[in-house]
A and B are shown apart, each in its own frame.
Chain A
């Protein structure tokens, strides 16, 4: 389920490579090895949830009607690498 949420809401900006603004921005800010969201190991689930709900710099916010609290919880844990 978390993978589906990621594909629908995150992949268009955070998939690897050019044409994905989130990846490009993270590469310019933190370097190639911290550019692809799914490869990151330094992000906490709480931080991810907070950024999704409030946005961060170029990233807009996502509402509960877009990503429910349940889906957000699963997505945040998925991206933080928590089982």
Chain B
């Protein structure tokens, strides 16, 4: 099989670059062929051809200085780099690069928990630190701080936050809880943002904004720099924690439920990033589709009723939690119960009411900062392992939620997929996450999945809904949907890109931002 090369680079130039990388970080940390494990850098759940987003090689520096060396060498040889932190962005491409032939800059070896501050509740971490790593560190050191993990415990704090992922505790808006970055720029220079720009500052992880322009945001979901350190605020363990589930029996209940939830969330009666999950997103944690139904098309009402009976859940299931002193939790629980009792058939469960419920068990973990991989079982629902998330933002309104839900549900039925989804409630919006499951070894199903995904992007955009994040294969298409005023935002991103990375070596194509020499090409 012909060797994979970066675009426009011949084998001699490429081997020259590999030699320079090896000299900088050691040959054992340059993975350039099959035997060295370069195939482990592909997208494990590819919605396109398995080897489409294939790297030419991967390099794994040990520290910031080596990251700077790698970036300078890449600039000298004009080799495209694709930085990853823990490489477990699994519903969106995993470790694979957007531009085939890129060299993956694997930051996993930068895995130090640099500081944990109990008094102010924060940590300063390197990109290779996963949620599991930090959780185990805090457990070992007897810390009283909670992390806010993504649903994939192997995910990285820096990587997930830089992709603006969300969690499930009151600290669920990860980027809102980020404070201070250190970034290697495309010329290899090093910058610290916020209060970190002031030498000997003791507020780098305390005050987000520093002095002058607030730049942290431009290093998220972008290719303007390589984040090598990040501060993240951690929630002090509350005096009390009471997770709960409220189930609602009818499909149309979503509209009334969300109308009731909005004022509760906006006024912070609901303290955490609570979720309303659809029946199948719960059912798939413990079972498979074929255990309930082997026919084609959507699951019939009779099967849904059986699932609801078997698992004591509803068509919609609201997972949230109370945090604080007992009297305050009691009072808050009363307010929430009264409000949602207005929905006919609502049923109320505290976690202790469902001691053997695996879904309640893993939701209880996520909402209290304990990392878990239980939700990963969802991709066993139809088997074959493939999955990609379609994730539009919705206002916290019943009408919009129902509109988005029914649009996706109906299109799923048309293309032959199930709707497994949830709404995660933020400050003023909801992240609507639809898990599109497909058999990674069934080409016709992958073709149907791609067709469905494209239709959903177009239809959502036409209705004024945009995705907050996406898979490698759809970055260009979704970036193009944010085209107000003749693509003004994309043009601005390209101007920043050209200024910060004139050779275009950092993560070409990330979120649809291409360097000048690759713009307009069919990548």
Query: SS class of chain A's interface: helix, strand, loop or mixed?
Result: loop
When chains A and B are docked, how far (Å) is the Cα of A13 from the Cα of B88? Answer: 15
When chains A and B are docked, how far (Å) is the Cα of A12 from the Cα of B362? Answer: 12
Say yes or no: is B39 at the interface (Cβ < 8 Å to chain A). Answer: yes
The reply to whether B385 and A66 contact each other, CB–CB distance below 8 Å, is no
When chains A and B are docked, how far (Å) is the Cα of A58 from the Cα of B109? Answer: 25
The reply to whether B108 and A21 contact each other, CB–CB distance below 8 Å, is no
Query: Closest CB-CB distance, B516 to chain A, in whole Å?
Result: 31
The reply to whether A66 and B108 contact each other, CB–CB distance below 8 Å, is yes
When chains A and B are docked, how far (Å) is the Cα of A21 from the Cα of B95? Answer: 21
The reply to whether A60 and B37 contact each other, CB–CB distance below 8 Å, is no
The reply to whether A60 and B44 contact each other, CB–CB distance below 8 Å, is yes
- Which residue of chain A has its CB nearest to the CB of B377? A21
Interface size class of chain A, counting residues whose CB lies under 8 Å from the partner chain:
20 to 34
Chain A positions 38-62 with a Cβ under 8 Å from a chain B Cβ: 53-62
B65-109 Cβ-contact flags toward A at 8 Å (1 or 0): 000000000000000000000111010001100000000001011
Which one of B12-20, B368-376, B483-491, B496-504 contacts A?
B368-376
Residue numbers in B under 8 Å from A66 (CB-CB): 86-87, 108
Q: Given A28-B288, A53-B37, A65-B60, are A58 and B376 neighbors across the interface (CB < 8 Å)? A: yes
Query: How many Cβ-Cβ contacts under 8 Å join chain A to chain B?
Result: 92
When chains A and B are docked, how far (Å) is the Cα of A54 from the Cα of B153? Answer: 20
Query: Closest CB-CB distance, A6 to chain B, in whole Å?
Result: 14
Chain B positions 137-193 with a Cβ under 8 Å from a chain A Cβ: 153-154
Residue numbers in A under 8 Å from B128 (CB-CB): 65
Query: SS class of chain B's interface: helix, strand, loop or mixed?
Result: loop
When chains A and B are docked, how far (Å) is the Cα of A30 from the Cα of B199? Answer: 60
The reply to whether A21 and B383 contact each other, CB–CB distance below 8 Å, is no
Say yes or no: is B434 at the interface (Cβ < 8 Å to chain A). Answer: no
Say yes or no: is B409 at the interface (Cβ < 8 Å to chain A). Answer: no
Q: Given A21-B380, A54-B40, A66-B108, are A60 and B358 neighbors across the interface (CB < 8 Å)? A: no
The reply to whether B36 and A60 contact each other, CB–CB distance below 8 Å, is no
Residue numbers in B under 8 Å from A13 (CB-CB): 373, 376
Chain B positions 397-443 with a Cβ under 8 Å from a chain A Cβ: 440-441
- Which residue of chain A has its CB nearest to the CB of B29? A65
Say yes or no: is A3 at the interface (Cβ < 8 Å to chain B). Answer: no
Say yes or no: is B41 at the interface (Cβ < 8 Å to chain A). Answer: yes
Known: A21-B373, A21-B376, A64-B40. 6 other contacts (CB 8 A): A19-B372, A28-B380, A58-B380, A63-B41, A65-B128, A69-B37
29 contacts between A and B (CB under 8 A): A19-B361, A19-B372, A19-B374, A20-B374, A21-B373, A21-B376, A21-B380, A24-B286, A24-B377, A24-B380, A25-B383, A28-B383, A54-B42, A54-B44, A55-B40, A55-B385, A57-B384, A57-B385, A57-B441, A58-B379, A58-B385, A60-B88, A61-B94, A63-B37, A63-B87, A63-B106, A65-B60, A65-B108, A65-B128
